Structure 1
Amino acid sequence: MSWLSGTLMAFDLETTGTDVESDRIVTAAVVRLEADGSVSEERTWLLNPGVAIPEQASAIHGISTERAREHGLPAAAAIEEIAGAVAEGLRTGVPLVVMNARYDLSLLDRECRRYGVASVSDRLGAAPSPVIDPLVIDKHVDKYRKGKRALHALCAHYGVALDDAHDARADAVAAARVVRRMGEQHQPVGVMPLEELHGLQVHAAAEQSRSLQAYLRRTTDPAAVVEPAWPLIPRMR
C-alpha cells in the first residue's frame, strides 16, 4: 500500500527567527491527517520562549512578546511535550511531514538540548524517520520550475487551500495536503516505500545544497556554505 493512502502526521513551528542554533520556538503543532485529508487528531502549543520575540518575527506569525509571556507555556515543559508527540508518531511508523524539515527538526533538537530534554532522536534511538519534506521533494521532481517554493507558493501550485499562513496548525495541515498532491502527480514519489523515499530526500537535499552553494559562490559570496544534512543538522560541538 502506498503512503498516499495512509495516515500522515504533520509538524510545524513558528519561531523567533531563522537560526537553528540560537532562535526559539513560539508556537508548534502536531497534526494527524487521514487518507481523505481530514484531521483526526491535533495538538498545538503556545510557548513563552524566554526571550523577546523580534518585531519582524511577530509580524509574520502574529505572536507578540507580551502575549507569549502572558499566555505561553513554560518552554521546557512545552518542548518535552512537543518532542514526545513527534517521537510517539514516528514510533508507530506514521510518516512525518515537515516543510523545510532541516530547519524545524533541527530547531526542536536544539531546544531539547537547551532545556535538558530528551530529543526526538534520543527517544527513537536514531534520527527522525521516515520524514517527508514538501520543499525537498518539489525541488527534486520539478527542478527547473521558476518562482518561489515557500509553502504558500506550493499550495498555489498544487491547488491546496492555505487560509491562515504562518499559523502552525494551518501550515502543518497544508504541508501534508500538498505532499499528497505531489505524490499523486509524481508517481515515482507517490509509490515509493517510505524508507526509499526518505533516502531519496537525504541525497536530493544534499545535491540541492551543493547546487545553491555553488551558485552563491559564483554570484555573491565566494565563501558561502549551505548545509547539506537532512532532515537534521548535526549539533555543533
Structure 2
Amino acid sequence: MKLILDRDLCFFDIEATGLNVVRDRIVQIAIIKYFKDGREPQELSLMINPGIPISLEAILVHGIQPKDVANKPTFQQLAQKIWDFIGNADLAGYNSNRFDIPMLMEEFARVGMEFDVTKRRSIDVQRIFYKMEPRTLKAALKFYCEKEHEDAHDAMADVRATIDVFKGQLDKYEGVDYLDEDGVRVEAPIKNDVQVLHEFTNDNRFVDATQKLRADVNGDIVFNFGKYVGKPVGETLYEDRQYYNWILNKEFTSQVKQMVKKLVREYEKGLKAKEKENGNNE
C-alpha cells in the first residue's frame, strides 16, 4: 500500500538501558523514512554507547550487551546525523508517544539540541491497535499480517514489524467505525491520512508524554500534579518563579520544560499586550 503523505514520515524504534525516559539512554535506534514525493524509503540503524550501565531487565528484553556498544559512538557524536536524517518529518512508532519520542527528545536536550515536536504530527501504531484490537506487537503482526515476529526487540526488526502492522491496520479498518468507552461512535477513524491518524492516536487531554500537563474543559493548559493541580500553567509559573525554576532544574522531561517555558512566554506576552492596550485607552 502506498502511504498518502503531505510531509515526510519517519517510523522509528528505540532500544534503551531501561524504561525511564529521563534517566535511561538509547543503545539502538532504527528509522525508516517515507517521503511525501513517493521515492523509495531510506533506512538508518545505529548502535549507540549509552555511557551508563544497561539494566539486566533491558538486556533480557532486547539482548544488547554492554560489550555490543562499548566501542560504538555516543549519542552526542551521532546527534547531528540523526537530526538531519529525521529533518522536519512527522513521527510514527509503536508506543512512541509514551516512550520513543520523549526519550529521543531527552537525548537531544542533553547535547543542547531542542527537538521540537509541537510542529510535528505523530502516529502511535500501538494506540490504533489498543483501541481497535488490544494486544502486543508480536500479536499485532500475527493478527494483521499472519506473520511471526522472529527478531522481537531488535530495533530494525521491530520498526519493520510496526510498518507491516500499520499497513495491515489501514487495510483492515477501512470504513470501520470506532465505538469509544462512552459509547460514542466515531465514523471510520482509520484512514490513509496522517492528520486523521494523529488525532485518533493522541490523547489531546494531555500535552506531554508523562501526563504532567493537561488541557482543561476550556482548552487551557493546567497542572496535572502537585500543589497547583488544575491551575493554569502559564499564569501560575509567571507569578511563582521559584516553582518555575524548580521545574526547570528538576527531573522533568525536556518536553515538559519546553512546554512550561512556552506557556510562561505566551502569558507574559499577553500581559504586555493588555498593558499596551490599556495605555492606549487612557
TM-score by length of 2: 0.60
Q: 1:101 to 1:164 in 2, by over 3 A?
A: same
> What is the count of residue pairs matched by the alignment?
195
Structure 1 equivalent of residue 20 of structure 2:
19
Identity of aligned residues (%): 25
Alpha-carbon displacement from aligned partner over 1:76-135 (angstroms, at most 9, x marks no partner): 12233223322x261xxxx5321001210000001111222x2331xxxx5263322111
2:98 equivalent to 1:107? no
Q: Which amino acid aligns with 1:112?
A: F
Task: Report the structure number with the largest CA radius of gyration.
Answer: 2
Structure 1 equivalent of residue 78 of structure 2:
78
Secondary structure at 1:48 match in 2:
coil
Structure 2 equivalent of residue 197 of structure 1:
197
Structure 2 equivalent of residue 32 of structure 1:
33
Structure 1 equivalent of residue 166 of structure 2:
179
CA contact (8 A) 1:20 1:110 kept: yes
CA contact (8 A) 1:83 1:119 kept: no
Residues in 1 aligned to 2:254 and 2:200: alpha-carbon distance in whole angstroms: 17
- Larger RCO (CA within 8 A; separation ≥ 6): 1
Structure 2 equivalent of residue 97 of structure 1:
92
Post-superposition offset of 1:68: 0.9
Post-superposition offset of 1:20: 0.5
Structure 2 equivalent of residue 228 of structure 1:
none
CA contact (8 A) 1:120 1:128 kept: no
Residues in 2 aligned to 1:82 and 1:67: alpha-carbon distance in whole angstroms: 20
Structure 2 equivalent of residue 220 of structure 1:
none
Give structure 2 stretches of 5+ with no counterpart. Answer: 175-187, 210-224, 226-252, 261-282
Structure 2 equivalent of residue 131 of structure 1:
122
CA contact (8 A) 2:62 2:154 kept: yes
Secondary structure at 1:180 match in 2:
helix
Task: Give the RMSD, CA atoms, in angstroms.
Answer: 3.1
Give structure 1 stretches of 5+ with no counterpart. Answer: 210-224, 226-231
Q: Which amino acid aligns with 2:141?
A: C
Higher helix share: 1
